[in-house]
Structure 1
Amino acid sequence: MTPEGQELLRRGGQALGLDLTPHEEQFARLLELLRAGNERLNLTALKQEKDIVLKHFVDSLTCLRGGHLDGELRTLDLGTGAGFPALPLAIVRPQLHLTPLDSIRKKIEFVRSAAQALGLMQVTPLVGRAETLGRDPAHRECYDRVVARAVAALPVLAELALPLLKVGGRFVAQKGPITPEELEAGQKAAREVGGQLTEVDPFTLPLSGDARTLVVLEKIRHTPAAYPRREGVPTHQPLFWKAK
């Protein structure tokens, strides 16, 4: 990582109330791993150091807003892709027990190798789909937290995430600007599968000024046995929402 990249990382962290200086070496190594992996696997469209530092590393850490991930929490990263937000979270919050989940095996293999290279022993990557995990007794209603970063519309995410949460657990969704219509549909979907909307936190991404929204759903009762529906249905036929 160049001095300019280090400065961006520090300033981005400071804007979030985080001192990332002790973690610079790990983030620099993650940048190297991501660039090398991208040449072989096409992991991310972001290629420039500035974009990776701000829109992958710092952006991933915005889900720490509000203190929802404080403590030793069993946390699943839904649709992790190349490991975001899971890997930056694991670097900064080593007490989190993280399960990055993605249906694309090559991406999970990258996340696994990167976690090992970075010494992140608390990261356990998993290949699979949330619809299947949500019906597996080893995962259904077993997590303290679920996080997801720009994966799908809120009604889809509610149906995929809430079945994985324990009662009392929270789903933290990292999104861009969110319309009132999507928010209303997400609230209805959350209620249908055992949850409720507890927080909507609009903000701007440090240094870039891009609009972001943190949406938090809390699991308040057990998810009905009908949910999640079979693979692909939540995405193509979202609850209370016309698929875009």
Structure 2
Amino acid sequence: MKNLIKPLEICLNDKQNEQFKQYYHYLLEENKKYNLTGLTTKEDIYIKHFYDSLTLLKTTKITNSNLLDIGSGAGFPGIPLKIATTLNLTMIEAQKKKALFLNNLLKELNLEATVINKRVEDLPKNYLNSYDIVTARAVASLQVLSELALPFVKKGGYFIAMKSGHYQNELNEAKRGIMILGSEIEEVIEFSLPEKKGKRALIVIKKLQVIDGYPRPYQLILKKPLGSDENE
């Protein structure tokens, strides 16, 4: 892991490296029961899951933040970030079996974080405008994700969407909705994974003001995406 993450300029101690090893072995074992990931080789898990998650540290906004991760699944990007930094982590996972896995994983790695077994749009209102950072990785289109995520970001905080290198159409479709939600696209960080494992982009969106009334019910978000012609 130490050599793999050198391009990210991250230093992990022996305990952190051991936690990543534990994570890898525990994920493979539990994957037999929970079908958590389609990736099963060590190289793919370390690069496409661990390394990919840690690329969020490129933004320099993560380390001491209060972070909400939407659709955590097998723990990405939240758990790798928690291992590597001092952030305060809350993970939202709608599937009961995956939420159970996350709680068991935290015990296995001796980490403290909160797992909430709900859809993000069903969170109580006291969660709104509460987080320094909200992240999401491969959950939905950016147009949909922005409405799900930005209401939970506090004013001056960030929503960081993790996307493939083919993000431009999604970004164009989402721009108007992002503006309606009182936010702006601050930067897009493009990079390639090691060993030619694919191109990625971090879309960094800053929340400038609080806009009430969002997120709407999920089916309405899908039917009438914010900022689209159908939502006029």
1:50 is aligned to 43
Q: Secondary structure of the residue that 1:10 maps to in structure 2?
A: coil
1:18 is aligned to 10
Q: Are the equivalent residues in 2 in contact too, given 1:146–1:171 (CA < 8 A)?
A: yes
2:221 is aligned to 234
Q: Are the equivalent residues in 1 in contact too, given 2:92–2:117 (CA < 8 A)?
A: yes
Please give the TM-score of this superposition, normalised by the length of structure 2. Answer: 0.93
Kindly tell me the number of residue pairs found equivalent between the two proteins. Answer: 229
Please give the TM-score of this superposition, normalised by the length of structure 1. Answer: 0.88
- Aligned AA (2:37): T
2:55 is aligned to 62
Q: Are the equivalent residues in 1 in contact too, given 2:180–2:227 (CA < 8 A)?
A: no
Aligned CA-pair RMSD: 1.7
**Matching of residue 110 in structure 1 with residue 110 in structure 2:** no
Q: Are the equivalent residues in 1 in contact too, given 2:136–2:162 (CA < 8 A)?
A: yes
Q: Residue 203 of structure 1: CA displacement?
A: 1.0
Q: Are the equivalent residues in 2 in contact too, given 1:15–1:206 (CA < 8 A)?
A: no
> What residue ranges of structure 2 are gaps of 5+ in the alignment?
none
**Matching of residue 173 in structure 1 with residue 164 in structure 2:** no
Point out 4+ residue stretches in structure 1 off by more than 6 angstroms: none
Q: Secondary structure of the residue that 1:45 maps to in structure 2?
A: coil
> What residue ranges of structure 1 are gaps of 5+ in the alignment?
1-8
Q: Residue 179 of structure 1: CA displacement?
A: 4.1
Q: Are the equivalent residues in 2 in contact too, given 1:41–1:106 (CA < 8 A)?
A: yes
Percent identity (aligned): 36
Q: How does 1:37-186 map to 2 (within 5 A)?
A: 37-71=30-64, 73-93=65-85, 95-121=86-112, 123-133=113-123, 136-186=124-174
Q: Residue 193 of structure 1: CA displacement?
A: 1.4
Q: Structure 2: how far apart are the matches of 1:36 and 1:104?
A: 19
